[in-house]
Amino acid sequence: MSIQDITIVITSFKSDEKIKDCLNSINSKCKVLLIENSNDIDFKSRIENQFTNVECILTGDNLGYGKANNIGLKKVTSKYALILNPDTFLESSTLDEFFKISKSIGRFAIIGPYIQEQNQKKENKDNSNLAISEKELHKEAKPLVNLNLRMVENVKGFAMFLNLSEFSDIGFFDEDFFIYFEEIDLCRRVIKLNKKIYLAPSIKINHSGGQSHNNEINDEMELSRNWHWMWSTFHYHKKYEGFLSAFLKVFIKFISSMIKFLFYFILLNKKKGKIYYQRFSGLLNSIAGKKSWYRPKV
């Protein structure tokens, strides 16, 4: 097994300040497909001139995480693909560990790093009442002592090592999700077909979390994240449990976001008012059956 057996797929959006650290951490002999959610020709030229192993594909518009990753995955001709976020950083041993483990376990669909991300505790605290918890994410983890692995039902989307031969009957990401829940949805379809997903403690990938974009657009990206988190939460549960069950799951969040929006609007706290309006709007649009249409205004 060699470096030619893997292609790294990265989806970016205005990630000029972040992406170079990620690309510098990747073996220069490893092919990288960078899917940029814009029509920024200058960005493409700068990246391809600096990194000869990188092909930058411009989507022309902001298509979201799942759809952009699908563009890259459909162009991969190697045996494996590693999906990465722009705010990740590989250790020198990362790719070798993926190869070592994939050779040891034989048939598998997805491998993810067990130690997930630097700000994982903060992220779980911030979103603990919104969707799937870390305990649920890795529920029914089964240790495989000899290989130091765990068989799980889900992994996070910032780093997913895919055995592409296992996806011919599954497809890749559901493009209805603009961002959030698309990796959980994919893993659910993988498990449904009795394919295997593993977490590997020996694989180290550093992940900042929520820091893929340039700093000057933080506020607008925060609004976008809140809108899409709520949209995707309802849509995911509706897809698998039906409208009524999904509605009951989000009803308290729906009422809470509406009340908090009005509360902060009265207090003239525009920043918090906008955030809770985005949550309310995302849920309302999802409940109404509308597509995930919101895009960050940058």
Residue 147 is predicted with a pLDDT of 57
Which of 6-20, 143-157, 213-227, 273-287 comes out lowest in average pLDDT?
Answer: 143-157
* CA distances for 13 relative to 9, 214, 298, angstroms: 14, 9, 10
- Helical segments of the chain, H only: 16-24, 41-50, 65-73, 94-105, 120-126, 134-137, 182-192, 218-241, 243-266, 270-287
pLDDT top residue among 208 and 225: 225
The pLDDT of residue 140 is above 70: no
The CA distance from 271 to 190, in Å, is 40
The pLDDT of residue 132 is above 70: no
Whether the CA torsion 179, 204, 105, 149 is positive or negative: it is negative
Amino acid at 294: Y
Confidence tier at 209 by pLDDT (50, 70, 90): low
The pLDDT of residue 133 is above 80: no
The pLDDT of residue 130 is above 60: no
The pLDDT of residue 54 is above 90: yes
Q: How many secondary structure helices (H) and strands (E) does the chain include? A: 10, 10
Residue 119 is predicted with a pLDDT of 46
**Number of residues in the chain:** 298
> Do 182 and 65 touch, CB atoms closer than 8 A?
yes
> Do 7 and 80 touch, CB atoms closer than 8 A?
yes
The CA distance from 180 to 241, in Å, is 18
Reduced to 3 states, what is the DSSP secondary structure of residue 235?
Answer: helix
Mean pLDDT of 152-173: 95
The CA distance from 249 to 129, in Å, is 10
The pLDDT of residue 142 is above 60: no
CATH class of segment(s) 3-207 = alpha beta
Token pair of 16 as six digits = 């000029």
CA 231, distance to chain mean position in Å, is: 15
> Do 10 and 19 touch, CB atoms closer than 8 A?
yes
DSSP annotation string for 239-295: HHH-HHHHHHHHHHHHHHHHHHHHHHHHTT-HHHHHHHHHHHHHHHHHHTT------
Task: Specify whether the backbone of 106 is left (phi greater than 0), alpha (psi in -120 to 50) or beta.
Answer: left
Contacts of 46 (CB under 8 A, 6+ apart): none
Number of CB atoms found within 10 A of residue 260's CB: 17
The CA distance from 242 to 236, in Å, is 9
Percent of the chain with pLDDT over 70: 87
Domain ranges of the chain: 3-207, 215-287
> Do 127 and 209 touch, CB atoms closer than 8 A?
no
